[in-house]
Amino acid sequence: MIKVGKLMNKERGHATVAFARSWKKFPPLKHVAIVWQTKAMILTYSSSFITHLLALPPASTSTSTGAVSSSLLHRSPQGSFGSILRYKLRSYCSAPVNRGEFMASNIKVVQNPDSISYLNQREAAEVDEILMGPLGFSVDQLMELAGLSVATAIAEVYNVKDYNRVLAICGPGNNGGDGLVVARHLYHFGYKPFVCYPKRTAKPLYTGLVTQLESLGIPFLSVDDLPMNLSEDFNILVDAMFGFSFHGTPRPPFDDLIKRLVNLQSCNEVNKKPSVIASIDIPSGWHVEQGDTSGDGIKPDMLVSLTAPKQCAKSFSGSHHFLGGRFVPRSIVDKFKLELPSYPGSSMCVRIGKAPQVDISSMRENYISPEFNEDEVDPDPFIQFQKWFDDAMAAGLKEPNAMALSTAGKDGKPSSRMVLLKGFDKDGFIWYTNYGSRKAKDLSENCYASVLFYWDGLNRQVRIEGCVAKVSEEESQHYFHSRPTGSQIGAIASKQSTVIPGRDFIHQQYKDLEAKFCDGASIPKPNYWGGYRLKPEFFEFWQGQTSRLHDRLCYFPEQANGTNIWKIKRLAP
């Protein structure tokens, strides 16, 4: 056995190979290669997500994970991706594997900071060694994922408009490398990053990261270039000086830089400037285990722990503690008995503990979108809808076919709920439901309804209003039998919108029906289930713009020379 710890800093490459050969406990991992080009974030993340997905227990297919997987299948713009995933899911579901135990612990929601695992310095280094030894990761790969997760956490908390100018202060080790990666991603997210990197490392990984930043025109500033009060020039200060290998007291020039971050906070108190410090993995200068022992160290507003929080993070008192580095495999979780929060959806980071209380009245987004003009919309609103729907698909938005349906019965009292669009053409927009539901009752009394699509990532919404009628029995039959068996049984089990005695009741109904139809015979569509089609009489295409000056282009039906046409009018925002 080779002592890798001794070699890690200087000879990581050789040590990795030697270590991999001698390490018996960790068999080589199988990687799933995914090509899916929607957003860079998703592209980078996909393989770990799929690994995660493949390890899920079969029971999860009925819950949110099922929704994610099915939406992924539908959203994949490349058939090969969909078929790889389908194949893997099929073989996973049919294989009698014993992965439940691991995933049961891995997907557990651990949001109470007191029950989360914290690593000491030795364990943090050991995790690093195992990842880059027997588990086959490379340092640049982990650094990229770590840096991306830090950048996404920063962007989640500090919006690009109010916190545009970012200074990444990078140290000589991998924590500094993370900082370089963060600067690059923040640039692509629309921030204006600057980098202070006073002790450069000559290794190709680092020179490459510097070249990448230089090619984007990101300025490198020397310590002398920086103002004493960093909050004068920057909104976010990314503290990437030291990570878990820090020891002793900071040497120049980092001692001075740390002082500036400390003084910045007192300047902030006086000037009420909104500069914030986001520390990567460890607040630099803090003891890795004991934290800010002197009490006069930096006090970051945000800490993004990587892989698992280090012990010093217990005394972090800023508003935003996140975990990033979503690449921790099962063997590491088991070996170190890690209790970590589960990452939501496809996110690269997860908040630890509660989000700080906010004043809801102050929450507002300043939308930044391209202009949306009359000369670029299609004269046909159905074609225009298809264009925007395609954009929402291409942007990888989750469930772009989700729409809020509003109805009102004869009492005139409106009610809204989300339903899924299942198709549209010149005749209208279709969804399926239970004909005994409240919406069905409303529609039987008043055929007028509206649907609203909101595509957050694109700052767009579409309103469509018109009269609703049932689709033909043939269409309902066809769609019903195209649904997964579970959804078919669910439709029969649930007398939608009726009062039921409890959760168990509906699950028992489902189980009974599942047993009844276990022979694989076709499940008959109940006559109380079917589709509706809204025939549009009005469309509005809305695109959010700065200062509330949104674009609103509407289509109204008119008669011209005996034919029906759509007249486009702009409404005031």
Residue of the chain from 27, 96, 217, 248 that contacts ligand NPW (CB under 6 A) = 248
Q: By Cβ distance, which residue is nearest to ligand NPW?
A: 243
Return the one option of ligand NPW, K ion, none that residue 171 interacts with (CB less than 5 to 8 A, by type).
Answer: ligand NPW
With a CB cutoff of 8 Å and minimum separation 6, the contacts of 150 are 178, 181, 182, 238, 278, 280, 304, 306, 324, 349
Closest approach of ligand NPW to the CB of residue 246, in Å: 4
325 binds ligand NPW (CB under 6 A): yes
The secondary element (H helix, E strand) that includes residue 432 is strand 428-434
389 in Cβ contact with 400 (< 8 Å): yes
CB of 114 to K ion, least distance (A): 24
143 binds ligand NPW (CB under 6 A): yes
**Residue 279, contacted partner among K ion, ligand NPW, none, CB below 5-8 A by kind:** K ion
- Decide if residue 458 touches ligand NPW (CB under 6 A): no
> How deeply is 63 buried, as exposed, middle or buried, from its count of CB atoms within 10 A (0-12, 13-18, 19+)?
exposed
Mask of contacts with K ion, 177-216, x by CB under 5 A? ----------------------------------------
DSSP string for 185-244: HHHHTT-EEEEE--S---SHHHHHHHHHHHHTTPPB--GGGS-SSGGGT-SEEEEES--T
Alpha helices in 395-456 (DSSP H): 438-445
Residues 281-310 that bind K ion (CB under 5 A): 282, 284
Q: Does 154 bind ligand NPW (CB under 6 A)?
A: no
CB of 404 to ligand NPW, least distance (A): 42
280 lies in the site for K ion, by CB under 5 A = yes
Choices 72-80, 141-149, 206-214, 465-473 (CB under 6 A): range interacting with ligand NPW: 141-149
Nearer to ligand NPW (CB atom), residue 85 or residue 209: 209
Smallest gap from residue 132 Cβ to ligand NPW (A): 7
Residue of 187, 194, 197, 244 interacting with ligand NPW (CB under 6 A):
244
Strands lying side by side in the sheet with 349-352: 192-196, 165-170, 236-240, 276-280, 302-306, 320-324, 349-352
Question: How many Cβ atoms sit within 10 Å of the Cβ of residue 337?
Answer: 8
In DSSP notation, 302-360 reads EEEEESS-BGGGGG--SSEEEEE-TT--HHHHHHTT---PPPPTT-SEEEESPPPP--G
Q: Which of 21, 90, 200, 548 is catalytic?
A: 548
CB of 10 to ligand NPW, least distance (A): 10
Examine the residue annotation and report whether 330 is marked as an active-site residue of this protein.
Answer: no
Which of ligand NPW, K ion, none binds 245 (CB below 5-8 Å, type-dependent)? ligand NPW
Site for ligand NPW in 77-136 (CB under 6 A): 127-128, 131
- Out of 235, 279, 307, 407, name the contact with K ion by CB under 5 A: 279
State the minimum distance, in angstroms, from the CB of residue 110 to K ion: 24
On whether the CB atoms of residues 183 and 215 are closer than 8 A, the answer is no
Interface with K ion, residue 459, by CB under 5 A = no
CA-based end-to-end distance of the chain: 70
Report if residue 281 touches ligand NPW, rule: CB under 6 A: yes
CA angle 257, 259, 262 (to 5 degrees): 115
In sequence order, which residues have a C-beta less than 8 Å from that of residue 217 and are 6 or more positions away?
none
Does 243 help bind ligand NPW (rule: CB under 6 A)? Answer: yes
Is 10 in contact with 17 (CB distance < 8 Å)?
Answer: no
275 lies in the site for K ion, by CB under 5 A:
no
25 lies in the binding site for ligand NPW (CB under 6 A): no
Of 355, 286, 342, 346, which is closest to residue 314 (Cα–Cα)?
286
Q: Alpha-carbon distance 482 to 321, whole Å?
A: 45
The structure tokens listed for 573 are 């925002």
What is the enclosing helix (H) or strand (E) of 18? helix 4-22
Q: What residue has token string 């580095």? A: 325
Identity at 242, one-letter amino acid code: F
- 461 binding ligand NPW? (CB under 6 A): no
The contact pattern for ligand NPW, residues 286-315, with x = CB under 6 A and - = no contact, is --------------------xx--------
Catalytic residues: 548
Task: State the residues that interact with ligand NPW by CB under 6 A.
Answer: 127-128, 131, 142-143, 146, 171-178, 242-251, 254, 280-282, 306-307, 325
Task: State the residues that interact with K ion by CB under 5 A.
Answer: 175, 239, 279-280, 282, 284
